[in-house]
Chain A
Amino acid sequence: MNNLWDHTGAKGAGYAQPAPMVPESELRLATPLLRASAQRWPRLSEPEMVRHYTNLSRRNFGIDTGFYPLGSCTMKHNPRVNEVIAQMPGICDVHPHQPEHHLQGLLSIFHEMQHMLAVCAGMDEVTLQPVAGAQGEFTAVRCIQEYFRERGESQRTRIVVPDSAHGTNPASAAMAGFEIVEVPSTEDGRIDLEALAAVLDDTIAAMMITNPNTLGLFETDIAAAAELVHGVGGQMYYDGANFNAIIGRTSPGLMGFDAVHYNLHKTFSQPHGGGGPGSGPIGVKAHLAPFLPGPVVDVRAAEDGERTVEAGRWFHWREPEHSIGKVQQWHGNAGAVLRCWAFYRRYGRDLRTMSEHAVLNANYLRHAIHREAKDAGVDHLFVDGARTDVAKHEFTLSMQPAKEALGVTAMDIAKGLLDMGYMAPTVYFPLVVPECLMIEPTETEAKDTLDQFAKDFVAVVGTDPETLHAAPVTTPVRRVDEVYAARNLCLRVPEEDL
């Protein structure tokens, strides 16, 4: 379809605006810096612009348009009331530097969210400042780093990550200046305690791990791993990407973790927005709390004359004593925190039921796929990515048998699913499973959808290889040439099209 620059209409004044308060001729402008030539932007009238973006949206797949089993990303339904609330002037038209008495409502929401997140994860204190999961990881690693510097243990320069970890874990730790020690997983995809013990010494600052892990398995030895790491004086860091599986059933605190990040865009339904915005608060145990980025929200007894939103309680900012400083200039993605507050209010303590249904749906779908595959006689073409009785909120399948027998890859299956009207699962992750498909249905998919997906998945697996290699054929474009993109870099509208 056309790109913005293909619109050649409207040569007028652009978006109509009120006249300037003072005529341009009277302004004292910085003459030597005036722009010599206007940027070559397209010119669209509102009708053209609205149609352009509406048509673009029709070439995009979202949760609203179909089942989105993208493993590790927790693509659950985004309640619409959250969007309505997020456009109220009490959030949109608010500046973070306004005095506390202008922001009591927002501060009370922040306080409630800090409390709820701490309770769910078994942590003592929470900051809402990091704006994405990766920034949360980085922030927590920075807190751990300063904690050790404060204690005179600067020799702790290494961080352990399992080979099945999300790429952001090692990337975040490396950004903070740590050396990465990768430990292998066992054959069944869980922590290898022996391998872990072998790398531990007093140069280890922390272990970063997610539980359930990226194979969707609960790390049954997690408490033992925490004991080993604590035994050499290291810290345990919980990657909250998979938190949706466990709320109310267990917590990182119970497992022995010292710090955790939350992906509010996963667990608490901040819409993923085609790649963001997210929100990545972190929670920590008391010993790390003085290092959190500031400010955090605290509460004290209200004084006479203070206009409270909650009787007798005054919310205020507090700077942690040894704060690492800031990772975002303001108070994080307040708008995302607000949406997730509305989401939390919808569940309250029944967040436990939410997690149970996420796990129920994942296990149900896994069983249904295996059952359908057996009935259709294609069960020899894939295997579980990891042996287990129960999965948590997601599971992996390996298409390695199909690749060996028919030359059909995980990517072929993914593209075949696109033709059936689904978003593809996560492919080729975790790296420890060959030809991996990682499937996460979330709690908001109906049984009927899961049943149909199981049938359709098996139908795709049973499709002849030529058709699959050629898939997709029903999508807005056919298989996209990523190699061509990298070899013929075209990152913006070419000069000749302006």
Chain B
Amino acid sequence: MVDQLPNLGREAEMLSAMGYTSMDDLFSDVPVDVRMEEDLPLRGPQTEEEIIADARRLLGANVPLGSMASFIGAGLYRNHVPAAVFQLVTRGEFLTAYTPYQAEVSQGMLQAMWEFQGLISELVGLPVANLSVYDGSSAAAEAITCAVRVHGRKATQKGVVYVSELVPPDRWSVIHNYTQGGGIELRKLRHLEDGTLDPASVAEAAGACAVYVEQPNPLGLLDASLTGVKDTVGEHTAFIVGVNPVSLGLYEAPGHYGADIVVGEGQPFGSPMTAGGPIYGIFACSKAYMRQMPGRIVGRTIDEDEQTAYCLTLSTREQHIRRHRATSNLCTNETLIALMGAMHMSLLGPEGVRSLAVRNAAALHAVVRALDAVDGVEHVHPDGHHFNEIAVRLPGPASACIEALEDHGVLPGFDLGRWSPDRANQLLVTATDQTRPEDIERLATALQAWCAEVVA
């Protein structure tokens, strides 16, 4: 503490300059009956060295995925963040700034965010992107409320939104919390046995305010039928697609097949998993939704000398101006993490992101090949095309498998029973660009042994 407070020891001098004698004088306005008289019942202060030692001990007790053969993903993906990103993002000018209310001294971050908007816009194939929201889940939720504001009047199914039934319960819960106050009714958009959208369900959604579906879906499946959704649901129903942005290095941008709003978890670009946060949510849309978007947006403009400059714009949507009529309560967001994303994307370039997507696809391909050789492991969607992850059926509970394989240093995937009880025997196996060939061998060997034991 003593190294953090520059005015320690100068209190008397400063107080006397104001005509006070004690710190208590500065708190004389706190009524006696609400004063805290005792010391806080907390530990004493530590030095930097002691804090580092404790952090090493505690964080050292966590098990980093790199120390195992890990195949867990389910929405967060192991990646490699280039060294330059970490070096640059801890520059104090970025790290210790706040929302660029004073544009003249915030051009660096404003320009970087304007560039981020351009990178995302190009990636997803839509003309407008904001400078990020909290995460992929709140992005999905905010997209739905945005769509309801835009289509509320003309939609024939008032306040109704269809959400893919494969959306994981935690994300569904976020969406529910964000939408329940607006009188929005969430209905399930059904999928067929093979994991693709049920065309009958899509037809039912015509005239609703929005449909929300993910590509690849939460089980890693790519669904070509999404290219026909917009034609089916029609002009007055927003087609919202949640993406894994890395997949777009290889696969079509949803904006090019009719998506009105594209959202997603930006994390694979620029951010480690970090136990689930801070990460950042992508939000992009077509012009019809622009004035109902949540969050901050940077525009390019000019200064008094007609030089190029940047500033926050479309601010009249926001809470500090519009208050309870704002499009969202969003204020503090994930700018710095989005900046890391922009840095990563600018290093990758179009060819680099394609290579990255191919590496992810190849790693999963290698995993699938290895799993195919394991007796007792079956594909849940044998005809499907997958990206990053695949659901497999085991001869016993996935939870038991995960527990058993730990002794072999293998975390074989995510227990899909946690999403749905009828999937208790299913494992979601994830591979990314960071998956190692030796990890795959260990997975196959350990799984083979476990399956043999279970079947016997």
Which of A175, A223, A248, A348 gathers the greatest number of chain B CB atoms within 10 Å? Answer: A175
Instruction: Contacts A5-B118, A475-B105, A480-B301 given; indicate if A85 touches B362 (C-beta within 8 A).
Output: no
Q: How many residues of B contact A (CB 8 A)?
A: 205
Closest chain-A Cβ to B30's Cβ sits at a distance in Å of: 5
Which residues from B are CB-within-8-Å of A33? 222, 224, 227, 251-252, 385
- A62: nearest chain-B partner, CB-CB: B96
CA distance A414 to B96 in the complex (A): 19
**With an 8 A cutoff between CB atoms, is B404 at the interface?**
no
The stretch of A165-173, A373-381, A460-468 that contacts the partner chain: A165-173
Give chain A interface residues in 341-373, CB to chain B under 8 Å.
342, 345-354, 356-357, 359-361, 363-364, 367-368
Give chain A interface residues in 237-284, CB to chain B under 8 Å.
246-251, 254-255, 263, 265, 271-278, 280
Which residues from A are CB-within-8-Å of B40? 119-120, 247-248, 349, 351-352
Partner of B6, one of A59, A84, A352, A447: A447
In the complex the two chains form, is B332's CB within 8 Å of A278's CB? yes
**With an 8 A cutoff between CB atoms, is A200 at the interface?**
no
In the complex the two chains form, is B123's CB within 8 Å of A39's CB? yes
CA distance A99 to B404 in the complex (A): 13
Instruction: Contacts A59-B108, A275-B296 given; indicate if A49 touches B343 (C-beta within 8 A).
Output: yes
Partner of A250, one of B34, B61, B76, B252: B34
Instruction: Contacts A446-B7, A476-B105 given; indicate if A81 touches B51 (C-beta within 8 A).
Output: yes
- B356: nearest chain-A partner, CB-CB: A17
In the complex the two chains form, is B346's CB within 8 Å of A42's CB? yes
Which residues from A are CB-within-8-Å of B303? 477-481
- B403: nearest chain-A partner, CB-CB: A99
Instruction: Contacts A171-B329, A359-B27, A480-B311 given; indicate if A93 touches B272 (C-beta within 8 A).
Output: yes
User: What string of 1s and 0s marks CB contacts (under 8 Å) between B27-47 and chain A?
Assistant: 111110111100111111111
In the complex the two chains form, is B134's CB within 8 Å of A135's CB? yes
Which residues from B are CB-within-8-Å of A298? none
Partner of A485, one of B17, B112, B300, B319: B300
The stretch of B154-162, B174-182, B444-452 that contacts the partner chain: B174-182
Instruction: Contacts A93-B78, A347-B45 given; indicate if A14 touches B353 (C-beta within 8 A).
Output: yes
**With an 8 A cutoff between CB atoms, is A390 at the interface?**
yes
In the complex the two chains form, is A424's CB within 8 Å of B359's CB? no
Which residues from A are CB-within-8-Å of B72? 95, 97-98
**With an 8 A cutoff between CB atoms, is B377 at the interface?**
no
In the complex the two chains form, is B105's CB within 8 Å of A60's CB? yes
Closest chain-A Cβ to B147's Cβ sits at a distance in Å of: 15
Instruction: Contacts A480-B104, A484-B301 given; indicate if A41 touches B350 (C-beta within 8 A).
Output: yes
- B65: nearest chain-A partner, CB-CB: A93
Instruction: Contacts A33-B251, A349-B39, A360-B14 given; indicate if A274 touches B109 (C-beta within 8 A).
Output: yes
Partner of A14, one of B91, B314, B348, B365: B348
Which residues from B are CB-within-8-Å of A307? 61
In the complex the two chains form, is A360's CB within 8 Å of B347's CB? no
User: What string of 1s and 0s marks CB contacts (under 8 Å) between A70-111 and chain B?
Assistant: 100101011101011101111111111111001111101100
In the complex the two chains form, is A30's CB within 8 Å of B65's CB? no
CA distance A32 to B87 in the complex (A): 40
In the complex the two chains form, is B122's CB within 8 Å of A98's CB? no
In the complex the two chains form, is A220's CB within 8 Å of B92's CB? no
**With an 8 A cutoff between CB atoms, is A63 at the interface?**
yes
Which residues from B are CB-within-8-Å of A139? 177
Which residues from B are CB-within-8-Å of A361? 7
Instruction: Contacts A14-B348, A21-B362, A248-B40 given; indicate if A360 touches B11 (C-beta within 8 A).
Output: yes
Closest 5 CB pairs between A and B?
A: A330-B276, A14-B352, A177-B181, A64-B92, A90-B59
**With an 8 A cutoff between CB atoms, is A230 at the interface?**
no
Which residues from A are CB-within-8-Å of B4? 77, 79, 346-347, 354, 444
In the complex the two chains form, is B88's CB within 8 Å of A39's CB? no
Instruction: Contacts A88-B56, A492-B128 given; indicate if A329 touches B135 (C-beta within 8 A).
Output: yes
- B298: nearest chain-A partner, CB-CB: A491
Which residues from A are CB-within-8-Å of B193? none
**With an 8 A cutoff between CB atoms, is B395 at the interface?**
no
Closest chain-B Cβ to A295's Cβ sits at a distance in Å of: 11
- B62: nearest chain-A partner, CB-CB: A90
CA distance A476 to B303 in the complex (A): 10
**With an 8 A cutoff between CB atoms, is B63 at the interface?**
yes
Closest chain-A Cβ to B213's Cβ sits at a distance in Å of: 14
In the complex the two chains form, is B59's CB within 8 Å of A49's CB? no
Which residues from B are CB-within-8-Å of A424? 101-102
In the complex the two chains form, is B98's CB within 8 Å of A274's CB? yes
Instruction: Contacts A172-B329, A248-B39, A254-B34 given; indicate if A326 touches B173 (C-beta within 8 A).
Output: yes
Instruction: Contacts A171-B329, A476-B104 given; indicate if A329 touches B137 (C-beta within 8 A).
Output: yes
Which of A95, A137, A472 gathers the greatest number of chain B CB atoms within 10 Å? Answer: A95
Closest chain-B Cβ to A203's Cβ sits at a distance in Å of: 16
In the complex the two chains form, is B95's CB within 8 Å of A64's CB? yes
CA distance A418 to B44 in the complex (A): 39
User: What string of 1s and 0s marks CB contacts (under 8 Å) between B263-279 and chain A?
Assistant: 00000000011111110
Which residues from B are CB-within-8-Å of A63? 92, 96-97
**With an 8 A cutoff between CB atoms, is A43 at the interface?**
yes
**With an 8 A cutoff between CB atoms, is A29 at the interface?**
yes
CA distance A490 to B301 in the complex (A): 8
User: What string of 1s and 0s marks CB contacts (under 8 Å) between B81-115 and chain A?
Assistant: 01010111011111111111111111111011111
Which residues from A are CB-within-8-Å of B296? 275
Which residues from B are CB-within-8-Å of A480? 103-104, 301-303, 309-311
CA distance A2 to B134 in the complex (A): 29
- B284: nearest chain-A partner, CB-CB: A492
Instruction: Contacts A278-B332, A325-B176 given; indicate if A334 touches B35 (C-beta within 8 A).
Output: no
In the complex the two chains form, is A88's CB within 8 Å of B59's CB? yes
Partner of A138, one of B25, B307, B329: B329
In the complex the two chains form, is A482's CB within 8 Å of B313's CB? yes
Closest chain-A Cβ to B78's Cβ sits at a distance in Å of: 7
CA distance A95 to B299 in the complex (A): 36
**With an 8 A cutoff between CB atoms, is A156 at the interface?**
no
User: What string of 1s and 0s marks CB contacts (under 8 Å) between A12-33 and chain B?
Assistant: 1111011011111011111011
**With an 8 A cutoff between CB atoms, is B150 at the interface?**
no
**With an 8 A cutoff between CB atoms, is B421 at the interface?**
no
Give chain B interface residues in 322-361, CB to chain A under 8 Å.
322-326, 328-337, 339, 343, 345-356, 358-359, 361
In the complex the two chains form, is B104's CB within 8 Å of A475's CB? yes
Give chain A interface residues in 391-440, CB to chain B under 8 Å.
392, 414-415, 418, 423-424, 426-427, 429
Instruction: Contacts A85-B52, A134-B331 given; indicate if A167 touches B319 (C-beta within 8 A).
Output: yes
**With an 8 A cutoff between CB atoms, is B15 at the interface?**
yes
Closest chain-A Cβ to B399's Cβ sits at a distance in Å of: 10
Which of B6, B224, B277, B437 gathers the greatest number of chain A CB atoms within 10 Å? Answer: B277
Closest chain-A Cβ to B273's Cβ sits at a distance in Å of: 6
In the complex the two chains form, is A22's CB within 8 Å of B304's CB? no
CA distance A186 to B34 in the complex (A): 21
**With an 8 A cutoff between CB atoms, is A333 at the interface?**
yes
**With an 8 A cutoff between CB atoms, is A286 at the interface?**
no
Closest chain-A Cβ to B400's Cβ sits at a distance in Å of: 13
Give chain B interface residues in 161-192, CB to chain A under 8 Å.
168, 170-171, 173-174, 176-178, 180-183
Closest chain-A Cβ to B97's Cβ sits at a distance in Å of: 4
In the complex the two chains form, is A64's CB within 8 Å of B93's CB? yes
In the complex the two chains form, is A329's CB within 8 Å of B349's CB? no
